[in-house]
């Protein structure tokens, strides 16, 4: 009798999806799986979010080792589960160079990877599972949102390193037809964003203890106290992997 009511209650209940339920509810309804749910297909294929560089025209590959990527505007702010809210900003057109075709499987096969990801021009050396406390409050994100970090200057493992090409300042000497519409002012070039996947989940917002600065004026006894308390967004690197050649070619 009791079991029947319980079963009916379970059938009738319109539960929200399990990632929205509290932890204990997830334990009781889903069962004990520590495997993450498979990433939905639109997450795998598209949705490159570039928060850090708003618009950067196409920069041609400089060295054979790596090539930068046309990064068109991706100003849509948030990528939330289950479907990304930003359209795919990059149309991968550059063919991969031979050295990348040779060496990318080697880099991929050596598992612990690190990445030097750039956010707002600052480099952060990250591995999977790292916590990153950004020096600013990122607008328009909520805890649980997933960001794709697609600007990296270095992706590497213990023995292999994939570096970005020379910055575009030296590109200025190249002939014009080879230059394309490169941005001469660009100081930093990045690794081709098709070659790796780095996702970070927004953990929340942290704050610092309130600072109190005492301001004084001459010949006045009054001491003004200025208070400030900054907030910081905390990210955790959820996934960091190097794509296989088939995946990269499949994107094109």
Partner 1 sequence: MPLTALRTVSKPQNGVGAFILQCKRLDFHYCDWAGSSRGMNSFLKGTLPAFAKANPQIEITVSPRPTKHPVIRGHYINGREKAICVRKMDPNQILQKAELLRDASGEKLRREVRRPVKSLNESVRGIWSPFHAPIEEKRWKI
- Residues found near partner 1 in the complex (CB under 8 A): 16, 19-23, 26, 34-36, 112-114, 124-135, 142-144, 156-158, 201, 203-209, 234, 236-239
Measured CA distances, 81 to 56, 138, 203, 221, 227 (Å):
27, 18, 14, 56, 37
Kindly state the smallest distance separating residue 57's Cβ from partner 1, in Å.
Answer: 29
Residue 205 beta carbon to partner 1: minimum distance, rounded to whole angstroms: 4
| CB closer to partner 1 out of 12 and 246 | 12
Nearest distance from C-beta of residue 44 to partner 1, angstroms: 16
Nearer to partner 1 (CB atom), residue 32 or residue 221: 32
Cβ-based nearer residue to partner 1, 39 or 186: 39
Tell me how far apart the alpha carbons of residues 48 and 41 are, in angstroms, rounded to a whole number. 14
Task: Give just the sign of the alpha carbon dihedral 165, 169, 173, 176.
Answer: positive
CB of 146 to partner 1, least distance (A): 8
Which CB sits closer to partner 1, 126 or 171?
126
Distance separating alpha carbons of residues 155 and 132, to the nearest angstrom: 17
Q: Give Cβ neighbours of residue 9 (< 8 Å, ≥ 6 apart).
A: none
Closest contact distance (angstroms) between CB of 107 and partner 1 is 12
Closest CB to partner 1 among residues 125, 252: 125
For 122-127, which contacts have Cβ atoms below 8 Å and span 24 or more sequence positions? 123/153, 126/198, 126/237, 126/240, 127/237, 127/240
């Amino acid at each position: 009798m009791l079991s029947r009511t319980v079963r009916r209650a379970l059938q009738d209940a319109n539960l929200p999806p399990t990632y929205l339920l509290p932890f204990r509810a997830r334990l009781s309804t889903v069962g004990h799986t520590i495997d993450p749910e498979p990433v939905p297909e639109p997450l795998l294929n598209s949705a490159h979010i570039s928060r850090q560089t708003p618009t950067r025209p196409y920069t041609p590959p400089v060295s054979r080792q790596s090539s930068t990527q046309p990064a068109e505007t991706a100003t849509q702010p948030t990528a939330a589960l289950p479907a990304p809210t930003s359209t795919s900003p990059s149309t991968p057109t550059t063919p991969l160079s031979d050295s990348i075709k040779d060496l990318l499987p080697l880099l991929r096969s050596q598992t612990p990877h690190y990445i030097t990801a750039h956010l707002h021009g600052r480099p952060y050396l990250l591995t999977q599972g790292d916590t990153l406390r950004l020096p600013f409050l990122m607008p328009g994100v909520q805890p649980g949102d997933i960001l794709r970090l697609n600007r990296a200057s270095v992706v590497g493992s213990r023995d292999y390193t994939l570096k970005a090409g020379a910055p575009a300042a030296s590109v200025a000497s190249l002939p014009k037809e080879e230059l394309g519409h490169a941005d001469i002012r660009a100081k930093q070039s990045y690794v081709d964003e098709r070659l790796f996947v780095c996702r970070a989940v927004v953990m929340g917002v942290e704050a610092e203890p309130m600072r109190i600065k005492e301001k004084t004026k001459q010949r006045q006894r009054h001491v003004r106290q200025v208070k400030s308390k900054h907030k910081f967004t905390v990210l955790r690197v959820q996934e960091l992997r190097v794509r296989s050649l088939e995946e990269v070619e499949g994107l094109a």
